[in-house]
């Protein structure tokens, strides 16, 4: 399962974007969005998010 972003917690800071080794995350409309087809579920973005808005299922 790809990483999941909780839009209620996401501030759109973009810290997760460079953390993703496969460039599966981008910020759109001030919220992080994970491309489910590209995400390899490595969890790198989870630990980088200062708002704890990203989780792995």
pLDDT tens per residue, range 7-53: 999 999 999 999 999 999 999 999 999 999 999 999 999 999 999 99
Instruction: Domain count for the chain, please give it.
Output: 1
Burial of 57 (0-12, 13-18, 19+ CB in 10 A): exposed
pLDDT score, position 47? 95
Q: What is the pLDDT of residue 1?
A: 86
Compute the distance between CA of residue 57 and CA of residue 55 in angstroms, rounded to an integer.
6
Of the pLDDT bands very low, low, confident and very high (cuts 50, 70, 90), residue 57 is confident
Residue 37: CB partners within 8 Å, gap ≥ 6? none
The per-residue pLDDT for 22 is 98
The parent domain of residue 45 ranges over 4-55
Output the domain CATH number for residue 42: 3.30.70.20
The model's confidence at residue 56, banded by pLDDT at 50, 70 and 90, is very high
pTM: 0.89
Distance of alpha carbon 11 from alpha carbon 6, whole angstroms = 10
* CA separation for the pair 45, 52 (Å, rounded): 10
């Amino acid at each position: 399962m790809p990483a999941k972003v909780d839009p209620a917690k996401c501030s759109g800071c973009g810290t997760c974007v460079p953390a993703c080794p496969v460039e599966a995350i981008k910020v759109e409309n001030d919220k992080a969005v994970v491309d489910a087809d590209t995400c390899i579920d490595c969890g790198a973005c989870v630990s980088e998010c200062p708002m704890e808005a990203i989780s792995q299922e």
